[in-house]
């Protein structure tokens, strides 16, 4: 039986920057690797560090009270700009499990939800209410996001949000897009079997073509 994983709870860091694009979330100089490792280092680099690589002590995620932040309270149009999925992977490696904003870049939203970085969409005035609560509190604001109930709760507020049924099921079952696709593995294999049976000449065309060309090359070399 699949374990349900429907709650995200923790410190919410205020990051009320409108149009924070993916180039800022994950700058291009951190995209040179061939895997996902080490992307947390580049997250919001120009906001977190000075030009000579020193931490900016006034930036919220550099402050000791916000160590272990799990949720970002973001400005509108979060994740606009380029389509780089590295922005999502980097945020997750940094420890961020959810973002709350009033609007998102469309591709970022899809990348986030398909990788299980929860992108909660609230009305602008609701996001502002949480930002105000965070600003006025003596300690960092803690939030509870319940995907089963589709609510965001703070000490002073409770807001409802909506999400697609497929994404909600994925979060509830702890699946990313690949895991969700593998849930249909038997149907995929059955479809493939019917396809190859009906059109066997299409199966492994590249492999058979390479084998034929290799054989021809060997014959020429031997001659």
- What would the mean pLDDT of 194-208 be, rounded to a whole number? 83
| Predicted confidence (pLDDT) per residue in 152-180, tens digit | 999 999 999 999 999 999 898 887 777 66
Question: Which domain covers residue 194, as residue numbers?
Answer: 180-222
Indicate the range of 66-75, 79-88, 96-105, 189-198 predicted with least confidence.
189-198
Q: What is the pLDDT of residues 111-166, one digit of tens each?
A: 999 999 999 999 999 999 999 999 999 999 999 999 999 999 999 999 999 999 99
Query: Residue 137 sits in a domain of what CATH number?
Result: 3.20.19.10
Q: Are residues 109 and 157 in the same domain?
A: yes
- Judged by average pLDDT, the poorest of 24-38, 53-67, 92-106 is 24-38
**How large is the average pLDDT for residues 185-202?**
81
Burial of 167 (0-12, 13-18, 19+ CB in 10 A): buried
Contact between 2 and 60 (Cβ < 8 Å): no
Confidence tier at 204 by pLDDT (50, 70, 90): confident
Residues 162 and 195 in one domain: no
Does residue 183 sit in helix, strand or coil? Answer: coil
Q: What is the pLDDT of residues 94-107, one digit of tens each?
A: 999 999 999 999 99
Residue 143 pLDDT = 98
The whole-angstrom separation of Cα 21 and Cα 106 is 11
> 97 and 169 share a domain?
yes
Number of domains composing the chain: 2
Write the CB contacts of 72 (distance below 8 Å, at least 6 apart in sequence): 12, 13, 15, 78, 91, 96, 98, 99, 100
| Residue 117 contacts residue 92 (beta carbons within 8 Å) | yes
Distance separating alpha carbons of residues 145 and 98, to the nearest angstrom: 9
Choose one of 160, 175, 190: the last residue of a domain. Answer: 175
With CA atoms as reference, report the closest residue to 108 among 140, 80, 75: 80
163 phi/psi in degrees, rounded to 5: -155, 160
How many CB atoms lie under 10 A from the CB of residue 105?
23
Apex 10 CA angle, 73 and 101, nearest 5: 20
**161 and 113 in one domain?**
yes
**Looking at the structure, do residues 30 and 51 belong to the same domain, yes or no?**
yes
User: By the 8 A CB rule, do 79 and 21 touch?
Assistant: yes
Same domain for 89 and 188, yes or no, is no
pLDDT at 195: 83
């Amino acid at each position: 039986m699949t374990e349900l994983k429907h709650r995200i709870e923790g410190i919410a860091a205020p990051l009320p920057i409108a149009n924070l694009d993916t180039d800022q979330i994950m700058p291009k100089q951190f995209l040179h690797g061939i895997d996902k490792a080490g992307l947390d280092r580049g997250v919001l680099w120009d906001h977190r560090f000075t030009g000579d690589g020193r931490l900016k002590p006034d930036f919220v995620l550099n402050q000791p009270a916000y160590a272990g932040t799990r949720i970002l309270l973001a400005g509108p149009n979060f994740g606009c700009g380029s389509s780089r999925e590295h922005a999502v992977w980097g945020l997750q490696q940094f420890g961020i499990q959810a973002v709350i904003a009033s609007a998102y870049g469309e591709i970022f939203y899809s990348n986030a939800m398909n990788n299980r970085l929860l992108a909660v969409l609230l009305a602008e005035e609701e996001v502002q209410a949480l930002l105000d609560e965070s600003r006025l509190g003596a300690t960092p604001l803690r939030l509870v996001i319940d995907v089963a109930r589709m609510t965001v709760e703070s000490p002073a507020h409770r807001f409802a949000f909506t999400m697609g049924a497929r994404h909600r099921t994925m979060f509830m079952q702890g699946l990313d897009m690949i895991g969700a696709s593998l849930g249909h593995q038997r149907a995929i294999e059955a479809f493939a079997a019917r396809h190859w049976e009906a059109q066997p000449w299409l199966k492994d065309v590249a492999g058979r073509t390479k084998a034929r060309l290799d054989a021809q090359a060997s014959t020429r070399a031997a001659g």
